[in-house]
Copies of this chain bind each other. A is one copy, B any other.
Amino acid sequence: MINRIKISDLKEHTGKEVSIAGWVDVRRDHGKLIFIDLRDASGKVQMVILPNHAEAGAVATKLRPEWVIKVTGLVNKRPDKMISPEQENGDIEIEVTGIEILSEAKELPFDTGAELNFDTYLDHLPLTLRGDKPRAIFRVQAQIIKSFRDFLTAEGFTEIQAPKLIGDDAEGGANSFNVEYFGHTAHLAQSPQLYKQIMVGIFEKVFAAGNVYRAEKHSTTRHLNEYTSLDLEMGFITDHTDVMNMENKLLAKIMADLKINCAKEFALLKAEIPDVPEKIPVMKLREAQEIMKKETGEDSTSEPDLEPQHERWLCEYAKKKFNSDFIFISHFPISKRPFYTYEDENDLGYAKGFDLLFRGVEITTGAQRIHSYDSLVASMEKKSLKPESFSYYLQAFKYGIPPHGGLGLGLERLTAKLLGIENVKEATLFPRDLNRIDVLLSK
């Protein structure tokens, strides 16, 4: 490895000579002094090349933004009046004694820090992702997925690798992408649902974190055609409330980890890490509709689902009433839920299932699942699905599976909502949509 220390560790070396390496962020020429802000993955620091270091000065005049260099220099305390407390490493400065060029860069297509429209931003992700904001976003995202896995592993769940290439497009028609597969048509999975249920038969409690695909012809701030789904499924439950309790604890763990490991990123993005209540408030869809009717006058009591404005209203209500950023809405009509959803025997026509709302949107759908083979086949037939198309999956039920349930959580949407990002594509490393796979698709 190239011998160097991280820029974030510089302060420990004040008064000493060090080597650092990274990207030229900005170069400023002030008469005989040259200032360079150097950036590595850990942070930034201001460097100065004094006139007495002629050799370094000669190299420095060639440097342009994004050139990659290795620098040796002294870590100096700044004089009191030069200290910038808000700036990272604002109390030190590197007095450069040597510069080695590791990699050159061509002229940038726009100035560093320029305001870009979103298409230009996406057109140049290999460059624009280098900004402070995207780096913070995807650090937070890496922490969320790590906390998801760490928590579930500690809870006795086993990780599975669910396939993404599937045969029959079982879960439903228009929203799946077709793949040419050796003379057959295969599909890209819309979720690991059927496989995680099968795997309850092997490990009882499983999780999967991987890509899923929706061939939805939308290009909005909420849609992605490829995203990362965090899925869990657990056996030997009493009902869907066990799944809700697990999610409650999972979210508490994620937020606790973010507070420890990503405080800097949240500060940079001016976002707040929510507190997760000991028990996230829960109400049935019908209760929620009654409250909305009473409080707003809008009557949605005959609707089978929540509209976006209802989700926003309920989140505001939960914040005011329960001081919670989260609220579970349970018992949607069974007719509007997938075929594998368990009907509440004490509230016929309604599902033992839930959505989790957070900061105005639904971030999770979960439920108890049907575990009886005969009930599952009947449910498929009721939804005009062909049990033959599901024969592989149905084996799990034919050969005995315990009461179980689970949920799915969209990683990018959770990241965006946590960080106050309007467009979910900004919380997706390389977003795919109707018009774009890296570059805009030609017409």
A interface residues (Cβ-Cβ under 8 A, vs B)? 1-2, 4, 21, 23-24, 40-41, 66-68, 102-106, 108, 124-127, 129-130, 134-135, 138-139, 141-142, 145-146, 149, 153, 158-167, 177-182, 184, 186, 188, 195, 198-199, 201-205, 210-211, 213, 215, 217, 225-226, 228, 236-238, 242, 371-373, 391-393, 395-396, 398-403, 411, 428-430, 432, 434, 437-439, 441-442
Contacts and interface: CB of A to CB of B under 8 A. Distances in A.
Contact of A396 (B1, B126, B165, B198): B126
Consensus secondary structure, chain A interface:
mixed
A106 B163 CA distance: 27
A135 to B, nearest CB: 6
Given A178-B180, A439-B391, A203 B135 contact: yes
A167 B440 CA distance: 10
Contacts of A127: 201, 395-396, 399
**Which of A40, A141, A142 has the largest count of B CB atoms less than 10 A from its CB?**
A142
Nearest to A392: B438
Contacts of A130: 201-202
A230 to B, nearest CB: 11
B438 A103 contact: no
A225 B179 CA distance: 13
A21 B399 CA distance: 16
B161 A228 contact: yes
Given A127-B201, A163-B430, 14 more contacts: A21-B402, A41-B204, A68-B402, A104-B400, A125-B198, A125-B395, A127-B396, A129-B201, A138-B158, A161-B411, A165-B213, A167-B437, A182-B434, A392-B439
B178 A179 contact: yes
22 contacts: A1-B236, A2-B236, A41-B204, A66-B400, A102-B402, A104-B372, A105-B400, A126-B392, A126-B396, A127-B396, A129-B199, A134-B202, A145-B159, A164-B226, A165-B432, A166-B438, A167-B437, A177-B181, A178-B179, A182-B434, A182-B441, A184-B437
